Amino acid sequence: MLQIDLQHLPSSDELLSSDDIPVDNEDQNFVPNILLFLLEYLWKNREDWFFSVDMGVYHTTGLNPRVPVVPDGFLSLGVERRKGSGSRNSYVVWEEQGVVPILTLEVVSQTPGGEYEEKLEIYTQLGVKYYMVYNPRFWRRDGHLPLEVYKLVDGIYQLQIGEPCWMPEIGLGIGRCVLPSDPLGREVLSWFDEQGDRYLTTEERAETERQRAETERQRAETAQQQVEALLARLRSLGISEEE
């Protein structure tokens, strides 16, 4: 195995933010960004997490610490939300107290990128607890499911059964859905709670609150109409409101 000088590793300022390989379909950015935007609300009061899209992860478990692995999306827990109150150019494991991502996401494109072989081996060596492969368009071609979630158990990835998949170490579930607020009706990934209920987007929450307020208004209006009808009936019988 190649020996790495841990005392002279490059800093994040010296390393590229990504591999500069362009994505070949919009899902590779759109899908992980949906997950990020949802987390921004769900964990808005937490400062111990970091989710990134298409960012290089530098580590020492490969042949060269200057060569990153670049997931389409990844989540780390137990790290600063904002590194030094600023933003990260890349995710450098040796600058994050050795914390590796707990979850990585790869979105399969028209050109296979080794998601089921090379990337799986890289994340195994890195020690990523959950590895997700989202393959909505080419899963039949590749002989896999549209969404596969692997959990690292004793150094081996085990395919998890059922969807949404609950991840207790993260406190979230993951699964596919079509957001009602999307006029294009695109399938995406979303976070779910332990009961299997999908967490709503900010637009959906706002619409739910609007509908709840409208329902309460209608109830109050109906109740007022009923009271007024009752009072009118009493008056027609010669009974005053005071009586």
Mean pLDDT of the chain: 88
CATH number, domain with residue 36: 3.90.1570
What are the two backbone dihedrals, phi and then psi, of residue 189, each rounded to the nearest 5 degrees?
Answer: -100, 150
Using the predicted structure, report yes or no on whether residue 2 has a pLDDT greater than 50.
no
Tokens of 76: 């780390």
Per-residue CA distances from 214 to 181, 203, 228 (Å): 19, 16, 21
Q: Give a yes or no: residue 212 inside a domain.
A: no
Domain count for the chain: 1
Distance CA 131, CA 149 (A): 6
Q: Give a yes or no: residue 85 inside a domain.
A: yes
pLDDT band, very low/low/confident/very high, at 215 (cuts 50, 70, 90) = low
Mean pLDDT of 230-237: 79
pLDDT band, very low/low/confident/very high, at 238 (cuts 50, 70, 90) = confident
Using the predicted structure, report yes or no on whether residue 16 has a pLDDT greater than 70.
no
Tokens of 200: 């709503």
Note the pLDDT tens digit of each residue in 111-157.
888 999 999 999 999 999 999 999 999 999 999 999 999 999 999 99
Q: How many alpha carbons fall within 13 Å on the CB side of residue 35?
A: 31
Q: Give a yes or no: residue 116 inside a domain.
A: yes
- Answer positive or negative: Cα dihedral of 131, 31, 90, 56: positive
Distance CA 229, CA 235 (A): 10
By C-alpha distance, which of 22, 99, 97, 106 is closest to 69? 106
Note the pLDDT tens digit of each residue in 67-123.
999 999 999 999 999 988 789 999 999 999 999 999 999 999 888 889 999 999 999
Q: Give a yes or no: residue 44 inside a domain.
A: yes
Distance CA 17, CA 64 (A): 16
Q: Give a yes or no: residue 241 inside a domain.
A: no
Q: Give a yes or no: residue 242 inside a domain.
A: no
Q: Give a yes or no: residue 225 inside a domain.
A: no
Statement: the pTM of the whole predicted model exceeds 0.85: no
Q: Give a yes or no: residue 206 inside a domain.
A: no
The residue segments making up the domain with residue 12 are 6-199
Distance CA 20, CA 23 (A): 9
